[in-house]
Amino acid sequence: MERLGKHRFEKHKKIVSDKLYFSNKYYIVTIFTNITLLIMLLSIIASIMRFLPNTQSTFQLSNVSLCSEQDEFPKVMTSNDFVDDKGKVFAGNVWQCDSSDWGSDCVTESGANRLANCSLSQPKHSNICAAGCHYDRGCFASGDNSSVVVERKSRQILYGQNVHLAMGMASTTKIMTALVAIENCPLDRLVKIPKQAVGVEGSSIYLKENELWSVQDLLYGLMLRSGNDAAVALAVEIGGSVDNFVDMMNDRVAAMGLEHTHFTNPHGLSESGHFTSSFDLAMITCEALENVDFARIVSAKSYEVQGNETHPKVVFCNKNKMLGMFEGCDGVKTGYTKATGKCLVSSATRGNMALVCVTLNNPNMWQESIFSLQKAFDEYTLVKVLDKNQDLFVLESGDKKYRFRADNNINIPLKKSDNVNIDYCIDCSDVKTISIDKMQNVGKVYLNINNCLIFCEKISSIDSIKDKAIIKSLPNVVGDGCLENQYGKT
């Protein structure tokens, strides 16, 4: 009996052991299978990610669209999307500004001298005198990225960080490329694609040698899909060579009076000597957006290129997600290289105020651009401080009155909480003529906020003048005046 019991025990032990073996083997096989499935899933996800927007994936252009489901625009966001449950903003610390008064260097004896004393110049051909004079702006130097928000018409800086720091700009270069192309070539001109434009490194619309594309179609490929090959094709067609076209780009920058920008190519691939600042790029963008063709192109979410005997039809979808992420966004360009980091230039219009936001080398470019623009719209309003339909001054001779007015309205962005002193200076000292025609320019009016010059505008005579005494007195019209600050009356 004892032997029989031992035998049964050994048999039972073996059965249990076998069950444990097979059970463990089953679990091992199950774990291995799950790991295999996980690896396959990650591989599938990686494959899908290759076709998301802003990638360098190759598309075969055979009557297909460069659009996909992933190109759908996200929901409209506001600054509240970037505030946590404790009210802390996590889009960045850009707005932790110092208390320095940037306008202190601009306070001089007269309005005419203030212009010479302001440290930062504006485009020489424009009426904006000195955006470097900020009476209480949130600008400071910190970190290795750069950003700025400006009001488009006045070119006034509303917020900024390292605004004059020279940095790479990646494909935001193409803002100037497009502007120079539009200003120097008919949009309907047909371009025969040169060999030099085929297979250019980086983003591409996959041009082939000898294809025929209109300048307009190339511009949409340049600005919506960031085609480096489109940039080269336009440069060769318009400049005769890439180098000549780059010279045209640099000449355009010099004409604007910008000192922290230099181009070495038309597409933005990183090269030594190819740089800008967020302020300069904002000024270039404001200038470009004044061109109706440029504004139309960069505001498009998609564009269809009609096929011809040399290439098939293709649809370009804009890589700029801001067009769908931010209410009122109407442009303009994304950019990225490993050397420059993520770059974004955005424009937005709400009511009568239009803004441009530039951020360079910013890994959170979408979030911070949204936050910056929303903050500016929330805190500022555009105020008409000088009306072109109102007389600046009147000179009398007997029973005749001669009226003088600003050529244009002067609208400036002011903080809704600002308590500012607005005044102007009139200078007609350069008048040297024996007669004045109707609407002839006779001088300038300089606008000051808190004793800091920020804007100037031409003054013209509303009437024709032949009275020599009146004309002789004009150079002596150097006066000051005060303007009432009435918010909302724009």
Active site residues: 171, 174, 226
- Residue bearing tokens 């009139």: 426
Residue 172, classed as helix, strand or coil, is helix
**Positive or negative, the Cα torsion across 323, 329, 334, 340?**
negative
Element holding 4 (H helix, E strand) = helix 2-49
CA distance 169 to 148: 14
CA distances from 150 to 3, 115, 193, 201, 293 (A): 98, 20, 37, 33, 22
Asked if residues 466 and 435 have their Cβ atoms less than 8 Å apart, the reply is: yes
End-to-end CA distance of the chain: 111
User: 178-194 burial by CB neighbour count: b if 16+ within 10 A, else e?
Assistant: bbbbbeebeeeeebebb
Q: What is the CA radius of gyration of the chain?
A: 31
* Neighbouring-strand partners of residue 304: 315
CA distances from 219 to 62, 181, 242, 259, 307 (A): 20, 8, 16, 27, 16
Asked if residues 82 and 90 have their Cβ atoms less than 8 Å apart, the reply is: yes
Q: Which of 454, 444, 445, 448 is nearest to 421 (CA)?
A: 448
CA distance 414 to 429: 30
How many CB atoms lie under 10 A from the CB of residue 248?
Answer: 20
